[in-house]
């Protein structure tokens, strides 16, 4: 693959003591193009502007998917990516739903790993910091015809990040807006899923919440997922989480957490959870903890639920299950313990 290095770096503009989330993109990008039925070899080049015009297909018809993953500075000074094969599988699952051609595995993996090597100095080493990786694919033909594109761009951008949420959060149980419907694209990381959620999220933030807790589209009766993460409840020492469906994203962090918790001998139930059950478990004291889980959110304790104009406090334990899970997952990701699952891909 051709690599063109930037003549000047923006690394000195990054305040690693006060990292936010999602800004401060790294010096280089990976880019590959799909034309005439095949992907090219891809290139690494300095971060820059798109080459397309205002007829860009993705702008008009939303044919775009993406992934979120992280590279971590290891205890021995190396760099490793958490479960990249799962992100490869999921971006192609999302792409299939959006009529985007399959990305070859060697193109995805080689592009990702070589990009991290080129920008290895951007991988932060602070507590709970990582290099966020954003692979994405979008329709890159230039026409305004309502059909699938015949050209696509696969790109990867990166940026050093801290925690998305620094403490416990409150979420609003959504009863008006809908994120996903059965038969739709809710299980995919389609760009439009997130754009369509912004209004509900903004309203929730204006009401004092950090995120929306989405419910089903038919009756707003069943809990599904939060805006940036899957959700789990600890009810009478059992970890309960909504079962996966075509309206819920199959989180890689979620899968990893369920694996760890089962190994600890804790019962896990993947099943339907009604809003009434959630609220009743709070009132009865059966709910011991609630938390979100995702690549960006990592583990985010929930200490309150908004419902029909009221806020219902949720138990929050500094030394509870959420903290135990976060510590165990972090120890694996940062190379402080043996990676018995083979989750970390060394650069």
What is the residue extent of each domain of the chain?
2-162, 169-333
Q: Which candidate, 22, 23, 31, 27, places its Cα nearest to that of 47?
A: 27
pLDDT per position in the chain (347 positions), as tens?
999 999 999 999 999 998 988 889 999 999 999 999 999 999 999 999 998 999 999 999 999 999 999 999 999 999 999 999 999 999 999 999 999 999 999 999 999 999 999 999 999 999 999 999 999 999 999 999 999 999 999 999 999 999 888 889 999 999 999 999 999 999 999 999 999 999 999 999 999 999 999 999 999 999 999 988 999 999 999 999 999 999 999 999 999 999 999 999 999 999 999 999 999 999 999 999 999 999 988 899 999 999 999 999 999 888 899 999 999 999 999 999 999 999 999 99
Question: Which CATH entry fits the domain spanning 2-162: 3.40.50.300, 3.30.470.10, 3.40.50.720, 2.60.40.10?
Answer: 3.30.470.10
Sign of CA dihedral 122, 123, 125, 131: positive
- How many angstroms separate the CA atoms of 214 and 204, rounded? 12
3-class state of residue 321 by DSSP: helix
Total-model pTM: 0.96
Spell out the SS3 assignment of 25-86.
CCCEEEEEEEECCEECCCEEEECCCCCCCCCEHHHHHCCEEECCEEEEECCCCCEEEECHHH
3-class state of residue 90 by DSSP: helix
Q: Which candidate, 42, 61, 252, places its Cα nearest to that of 138?
A: 61
CATH 3.20.10.10 fits 169-333, yes or no: yes
User: What are the angstrom distances between the C-alpha of 339 and each of 71, 129, 332?
Assistant: 15, 19, 6
């Amino acid at each position: 693959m051709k690599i063109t290095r930037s003549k000047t770096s923006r690394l000195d503009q990054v305040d690693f003591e006060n990292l936010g989330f999602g800004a401060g993109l790294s010096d280089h990008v990976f880019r590959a193009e799909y034309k005439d039925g095949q992907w090219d070899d891809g290139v690494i080049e300095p971060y820059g502007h798109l080459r397309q015009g205002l007829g860009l297909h993705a702008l008009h018809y939303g044919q775009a998917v993406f992934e979120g993953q992280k590279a971590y500075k290891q205890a021995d000074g190396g760099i490793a990516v958490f479960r990249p094969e799962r992100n490869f599988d999921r971006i192609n699952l999302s792409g299939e739903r959006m009529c985007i051609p399959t990305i070859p595995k060697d193109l995805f993996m080689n592009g990702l790993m070589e990009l991290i090597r080129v920008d290895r100095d951007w991988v932060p080493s602070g507590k709970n910091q990582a290099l966020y990786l954003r692979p994405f694919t979008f329709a890159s033909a230039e026409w305004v015809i309502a059909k699938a594109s015949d050209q696509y761009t696969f790109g990867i951008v990166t940026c050093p990040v801290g925690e998305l949420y620094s403490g416990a959060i409150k979420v609003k149980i959504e009863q008006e807006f809908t994120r996903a419907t059965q038969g739709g694209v809710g299980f995919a990381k389609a760009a439009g899923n997130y754009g369509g959620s912004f209004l509900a999220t903004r309203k929730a933030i204006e009401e004092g919440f950090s995120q929306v807790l989405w419910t089903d589209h038919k009756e707003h009766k069943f809990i599904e997922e939060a805006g940036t993460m899957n959700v789990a409840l600890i009810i009478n020492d059992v970890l309960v989480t909504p079962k996966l469906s075509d309206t819920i994203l199959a989180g890689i962090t979620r899968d990893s957490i369920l694996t760890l918790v089962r190994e600890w001998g804790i019962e896990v139930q993947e099943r339907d959870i009604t809003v009434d059950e959630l609220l009743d478990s709070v009132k009865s004291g059966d709910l011991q903890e609630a938390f979100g889980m995702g690549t960006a959110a990592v583990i985010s304790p929930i200490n309150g639920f908004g419902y029909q104009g009221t806020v219902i406090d949720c138990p929050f334990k500094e030394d509870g299950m959420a903290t135990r899970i976060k510590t165990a997952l972090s120890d694996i990701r940062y190379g402080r313990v043996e990676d018995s699952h083979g989750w970390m891909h060394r650069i």
